[in-house]
Chains A and B, each alone.
Chain A
Amino acid sequence: MDMSQYLELFIDESKEHLQSLNQSLLELEKKPDSMPTLNEIFRVAHTLKGMSGTMGYSKMAALTHDMENVLQKIRNGKIKVNSEVIDVLFKCLDALENYLQSIIKTGAEGEDKYENVIKMLNKLLETEKTGDTNPFVANTKNQLPPLEHASASLELDEYVQNVINKAIDMGMNAFRVTVRLNKGCVLKSARAFIIFKALENNGSILKSDPKVEDIEDEKFDFEFTVVIVSKETSEKISKELYGIAEVEEVIIDPIYASSVSEKNNNQVLQNEAWELEGEEEQVKEQKNKEKGRARKTVRVDIDRLDNLMNLVSELIIIKTRLEDIDVDDSNQGYSEAVEYLERVTTSLHDAVMKVRMVPVEMVFNRFPRMIRDLSRELGKQIVLNMYGSDTEVDRTVIDEIGDPLIHLLRNAADHGIETPEIRASRNKPKSGTINLKSYHDGNNVIIEVQDDGNGIDIEKVRKKAVEKGLVTKEVADSLSEKEVLDFLFRPSFSTVDKVTDISGRGVGLDVVKTKIEALGGVIDIETEKGKGSKFIIRLPLTLAIIQALMVVLGEEKYAIPLNSIKEIIKIKPEDIKLVQKQEVFLLRNSVIPLIRLDRILEVPKSEEKEKKQATIIIVRKGDKLTGFMVDKLIGQQEIVIKSIGKHLSGIKYIAGATILGDGQVALILDVNSLAV
């Protein structure tokens, strides 16, 4: 059977499962006795096994199968959870991730069988050789879980029992219906839904095993059992169910008022005891709740969202164009319509943007594991606290922010946090703390990476800057702390020796900075020697549509993002002074460097008239100000940011482009690279 069409679904779901496995394993390490966590791990491993088996990825299935065996032993208390066991399980996870990566890239799971990992798993199994194997484990020698084995009956609690008794009193029949789907069935949950629908038409479903949620999430193999009460006979129900495609077998057993609690091993499906451990809710309630929830989320292809976003962007462009059309002021109807259109497009834009928002959790998720590994590797005790992981950011930002954060966290763990001995000598708690915080601040998202380690020795950085010949000693001595810290972001600083305490592993802070600036953000450092340091990243909420100020240089139009503009002033030409070959002017007694945009952008000269007044746009870069001289202002406009294409992506001073109402392209200036 051709599975290629389900490949994407498989990849998406596997990613989710692996992520939750990761989290659960970390949790298990902290709380080795936590049964729910263990069950969750078991469940995920089991689902993965089923999924990969169905897709024909036999190596993946084999690995998860062995993993399951170990987990089973842990659950039975035969193996104790210790760091060795956790390590092995993490190795499994890594192997599974590698399989998945290989599947994403090539469609095949690759050649590596991870025999060492399997060996380790088997070793764990052997350590507890009591011979008392659970029937379930014994049966799972096949890749797919066997369907035949029976373990326990679908337990009927008191409530269900009462309902059944009452129904039988009223002359209705109660049945235990076991449905087995065809093994080739791929959309099991959809099929199950149809079956449920059919059953509901004939009566009421009282209980199901696995739970309805699990069935809808495809967390079952190929069988499920439900208890229903119905006016119909078992023959009619059976006939109806066989009429549904991909149903392989239906077993219907009557339940009698007296036999309600009796167990009948013939009729039950594979029913792993652990799935029943949680408290079962009353079926009716569950069903309703589930129905409500199921409608709440839809999985949508990202491309479709992007397409929607593009269309909204086009709509905004057209709206701007309509606004530009000069119509007779007396035509009230027209302007009202345009105003209304404006409101609608703004709401539409907001709505679409919200759809594209994802919690930073998506990125943060992988950090606990990373810090865990790092702390073992480095022999340091590190606690990672994450705050505000539900803060939402546009997807475009999420995709890019991962690497810089990894770099900062590694820095914090490697160079920030001291070894336990040093910490003890400094009267600090033995284990170091890294705080990862994110929160909204106006139209920005702030992400902070803070450690309570070494801090940065500013004097050392200052010395290094002189040594590297970046500044003369005199200048270096006069620099403020903040200016000195800026050296850390210079490319040449990334390879310095341990002196600065933040030498990177091949990539430097300059890469982090470049990336963040490419996202339209800024990064700042706060540090105190011996106490720790804090990296603060400020990012725009979205990268797709922004408010911008349109300006004219010569004959050309440019857009300057509004969020970086502080104010606009007019100055007289004679107020411009020259300091060290840099033009400056005074703004409320502070000296601000001036940049003539037309010169730096090499705008073809138009007739230059000596103007009485120059228009200066004051922009903010970090906490420094720079003045941009422009020829004319057009006004504020909502613009859609578009890429200027791969081939021009490295161009300096340009952050992107936008399409104006008249169809012309205007470039968006990159304030960060233009400002001094």
Chain B
Amino acid sequence: MNDSYSKQYVVFTLDKDEYAIDIQRVVEIVTPTAITRVPKAPGYIRGVINLRGEIIPVMGLREKFNMPREEKSEDVRIIIIKVNDASIGCFVDSVLEVITLESDQIESISNYNNDESFDFIYGVGKLNQRVITLIDVDKLMY
């Protein structure tokens, strides 16, 4: 295995911060549609949507990160990702672009913080002057 590699990421925003998800895990990005609330679901699950006949649970990444819900906006998107072979949608404030990061542009931060709720952050990507938080989607659901 080569030590250095480059990977593509989908960059999105929550509040003013930039985050990114490995593009391999992203199924598609859709504009929000009618959502059905699911009683007794965890607080960050906003409900389920119908994506061409498939029913997909959708969570608010803001709630997941202990932020207040976003305001209504034209830019809000749902990023559909695959976790454990099942699709799940994530509400984000907006989707910006696709970037490529080399491995040396990624700094691990796993020991920064002992707070468990930040387990799903596995590093920070540095691109020019931007600092982008990289999210480990496998840890998002747990």
Question: In the bound complex, how far is the Cα of B88 from the Cα of A310, in angstroms?
Answer: 20
Judge whether A217 is part of the interface by a CB distance below 8 angstroms.
Answer: no
Task: Tell whether A314 pairs with B48 under 8 Å between CB atoms, given A645-B87, A651-B40.
Answer: no
Is A327 in contact with chain B by the CB < 8 A criterion? no
What residues on B are CB-neighbors of A644 within 8 Å? 38, 48, 55, 57
Residue B141 lies at the interface, judged by CB distance under 8 Å to chain A: yes
Question: Which one of B48, B56, B88 has the highest number of Cβ atoms from chain A below 10 Å of its Cβ?
Answer: B48
A602 at the interface (CB under 8 A from B): yes
Alpha-carbon gap, A556 to B40, bound state (A): 15
Contact A648 to B38, CB < 8 A, known contacts A657-B48, A665-B48: yes
> From B53, which residue of chain A is reached at the shortest CB distance?
A314
A379 to B80, CA, bound (A): 57
The answer to whether the Cβ of B76 comes within 8 Å of any Cβ in the partner chain is no
Q: How far is the CA of A654 from the CA of B41 in the complex (A)?
A: 10
**Known contacts A645-B55, A646-B84, A647-B141; A665 and B50 CB within 8 A of each other:** yes
- The answer to whether B98 has its CB under 8 Å from any CB of chain A is no
Q: Is the CB of B37 within 8 A of A648?
A: no
Contact between chains at B36 and A666 (CB < 8 Å): yes
Q: By the criterion CB–CB under 8 Å, are B39 and A654 in contact? A: yes
Partner of B40, one of A310, A653, A664: A653
Bound-state Cα–Cα, A602 to B41, Å: 11
**Interface flag for A366 (CB, 8 Å):** no
Partner of A667 from the list B34, B38, B83, B141 (CB cut-off 8 Å) is: B38
B72-121 interface (Cβ within 8 A of A): 83-88
How would residues 241 to 257 of chain A score, 1 for a CB under 8 Å from any chain B CB and 0 otherwise?
00000000000000000
Q: Which residue of B lies closest to A310 (CB)?
A: B53
Let me know if B135 is at the binding interface, CB within 8 A.
no
A-side contacts of B61, CB under 8 Å: none
Evaluate whether A665 and B86 lie within 8 angstroms (CB atoms) in the complex, with A314-B53, A644-B55, A648-B45 already known. no
Is there an interface contact between A645 and B86, defined as CB atoms closer than 8 Å? yes
Q: Which residues of A contact B39 (CB under 8 A)?
A: 600-603, 651, 653-654, 667
Q: Please tell me which one of the listed residues A556, A603, A659 contacts residue B55 in the complex, with CB atoms under 8 A apart.
A: A659
Task: Digitize A639-669: 1 where CB-to-B-CB distance is under 8 Å, 0 elsewhere.
Answer: 0001111111001111001010001111100
Query: Are A645 and B41 in contact (CB-based, < 8 A)?
Result: no
Q: Which chain A residue lies CB-closest to B59?
A: A647
A-B CB pair tally, cutoff 8 Å: 75
Interface 0/1 of B13-57, CB less than 8 Å to A: 000000000000000000001101111110001011110011111
How far, in whole Å, are A645 and B56 apart by their CA atoms in the complex?
6
Min C-beta distance of B120 to chain A, whole Å: 14
A314 to B39, CA, bound (A): 26
When distances are taken between beta carbons in the complex, the residues of chain B under 8 Å from A652 are 40
Determine the chain B residues whose CB is within 8 A of the CB of A646 once the complex forms.
84-86
The answer to whether A664 and B48 touch (CB under 8 A), given A601-B39, A645-B55, A646-B84, is: no
Question: B83, A647: Cβ atoms under 8 Å?
Answer: yes
Q: A603–B40 Cα gap in the complex (Å)?
A: 10
The answer on a CB contact under 8 Å between B86 and A556 is: no
- Which of chain A's residues have a CB closer than 8 A to the CB of B47? 665
Verify A659–B57 contact, CB threshold 8 A.
Answer: no
Q: A556-B37, A653-B40, A666-B36 are in contact. Are A647 and B88 (CB under 8 A)?
A: yes
**Closest chain A CB from B136 CB (angstroms):** 16
Q: How far is the CA of A659 from the CA of B49 in the complex (A)?
A: 9
Distance to closest chain A CB from B78 (angstroms):
14
Given A602-B40, A603-B39, A645-B50 contact (CB < 8 Å): no
Residue pair B36, A651 in contact (C-beta under 8 Å):
no
Closest to B87 in A: A645
Write the nearest CB–CB distance from A660 to chain B, whole angstroms: 9
Q: A653 to B45: give the CA distance in the assembly, Å.
A: 16
Mostly, the A contact residues are mixed
Q: How far is the CA of A646 from the CA of B45 in the complex (A)?
A: 13
Residues of A within 8 A of B40 (CB): 601-602, 651-654
**Interchain CA distance A645-B49 in the complex, whole Å:** 11
CB of B55 within 8 A of CB of A643, answer yes
Q: How far is the CB of A45 from chain B (nearest CB, A)?
A: 38
- With contacts A648-B57, A665-B55 taken as known, whether A659 is within 8 angstroms of B50 at the C-beta atoms is yes
Q: CA A665 – CA B50 in complex, angstroms? A: 6
Contacts of B87 in A (CB 8 A): 645
Most buried by A among B45, B55, B56: B55
> Could you tell me the distance between the alpha carbons of A173 and B54 in the complex, rounded to whole angstroms?
65
Residue pair B36, A654 in contact (C-beta under 8 Å): no
Set of chain B residues within 8 Å of A314, measured between Cβ atoms: 53
Q: A647-B83, A657-B48, A665-B49 are known contacts. Are A642 and B55 too (CB-CB below 8 A)?
A: yes
Find out whether the CB atom of B38 lies under 8 angstroms from the CB atom of A664: no
Find chain A residues with CB under 8 A from B49 CB: 665
Are A664's CB and B34's CB within 8 A?
yes
B138 to chain A, nearest CB (A): 12
Nearest A residue to B140, CB-CB: A647
**Chain B: CB-nearest residue to A314:** B53
22 contacting pairs across A/B (C-beta < 8 A): A314-B53, A601-B40, A603-B39, A644-B55, A645-B48, A645-B55, A645-B57, A645-B87, A646-B84, A646-B86, A647-B84, A648-B45, A651-B38, A654-B39, A654-B40, A663-B33, A663-B34, A664-B50, A665-B49, A665-B55, A667-B36, A667-B38
Give the interface of A toward B (CB within 8 A). 310, 313-314, 556, 600-604, 642-648, 651-654, 657, 659, 663-667
- Identify the B interface with A (CB < 8 A): 33-34, 36-41, 45, 47-50, 53-57, 83-88, 141
Given contacts A654-B40, A666-B36, 20 further A-B contacts (CB under 8 A): A313-B53, A604-B37, A644-B48, A644-B57, A645-B57, A645-B86, A648-B45, A648-B57, A651-B38, A651-B39, A652-B40, A654-B38, A657-B55, A659-B50, A663-B33, A664-B36, A665-B49, A665-B50, A665-B55, A667-B36
- List 3 A-B pairs, minimum CB-CB distance, nearest first: A646-B86, A601-B39, A665-B36
